[in-house]
Amino acid sequence: MKTLNFDKFYQADHSTDLLAWLNSIAETVEEQSNPKRHGHFPGWLEALHALSEYQASSTKLNTDVVTVNSEYSIHTEQIKLALMKLIPWRKGPFQIDDLFIDSEWRSNLKWSRIENHITPLSGRNVLDVGCGNGYYGYRMLGAGAKTVVGVDPGELFCTQFAAINHFINTSRLSVLPLTGEMVFDNPFLFDTVFSMGVVSHRRDPLEHIAGLLSCLRPGGELILETLVIESTEATSLVPKDRYANMRNIWILPSVLLLKDMLAQSGFCDIDCIDLCRTTTHEQRPTEWMPSFSLQNGLNPDDPTKTIEGYPGPTRCVVVARKPMR
């Protein structure tokens, strides 16, 4: 296998305008799929190729564990050997026959805090910015979404998605190797846009939020999840160097400031639907993600604080709408 293949998604029965948009970004997708972009990419593609003989007989996308049943359960060890070459698995969990992919994040917990507080996804075209390996995209399909376009520049995440989708074999979801900015420069108007865990990694969060607005049809809905600080004021935390041992955290707004940023960018009907602490029950090292995790970013003597002394990670989910005009 020379590179990732998106033909099945591009050739699916999408609407004419969505197909036209996908064709307009096809060249960029191809450029971003070049195995020379990452030294480990060829090895990941070899692992993906090792799955070529296995196919699913049934799937479950509307349960906590995205599940695949196949006619090849006797090959569980071979499948595990291939998929272990794609570690770390950060989003999940997934189940393939008897093989349980116990990802770093119990992503089902976040989805359970969201799914009943958003406009039903049935029949909607969805964009998921910074989607990782597509776990949430499968849950969106399980909730009835018509089409889900996931974008993430991480070649490993795109390969993980390709591996799982080898079994699930859906043409209604794809993870494209693009940044959000590449989509914002040439937007399609989606019914629903998700941005989960992205804003705090952006030097200019207002620019990111404006880009999300550009990708929504009038009346469309944004679901934005991000790290925040708990405060009753419109304020923010800007870490000096690292936050919870992460280098690329630029800003943690308060919920009030985040709402103000969304309103300033043009959103309306802004509502915080969830606010909770992130704990090692939800994010932790596993066999499938054996390196540093949340526990390494918390103060061992006081887990309510980060190792740097900042307040421990709290995340909020905000829902907002693009005005009809």
- 158 exposed, middle or buried (CB, 10 Å; 0-12, 13-18, 19+)? buried
End-to-end CA distance of the chain: 47
**Are residues 274 and 114 in contact, defined by beta-carbon separation less than 8 angstroms?**
yes
Distance CA 103, CA 107 (A): 8
Distance CA 251, CA 171 (A): 36
Distance CA 191, CA 308 (A): 40
* DSSP, residue by residue, 92-115: --EEETTEEE--SB-HHHHHHHHG
For residue 81, the surrounding DSSP H or E stretch is helix 76-84
- Side-chain-side CA neighbours of 109 within 13 Å: the count stands at 15
**pLDDT tens, the chain, 325 aa long:** 578 999 999 999 999 999 999 999 999 999 999 988 889 999 999 999 988 777 778 899 999 999 998 776 657 888 899 999 999 999 999 999 889 999 999 999 999 999 999 999 999 999 999 999 999 999 999 999 999 999 999 999 999 999 999 999 999 999 999 999 999 999 999 999 999 999 999 999 999 999 999 999 999 999 999 999 999 999 999 999 999 999 899 999 999 999 999 999 999 999 999 999 999 999 999 999 998 999 999 999 999 999 999 999 999 999 999 999 8
Distance CA 229, CA 278 (A): 12
- Report the relative pairing of strands 94-96 and 66-70 from DSSP bridges: parallel
Domains and CATH numbers, the chain: 7-321 (3.40.50.150)
* DSSP, residue by residue, 221-234: EEEEEEEEB--SSS
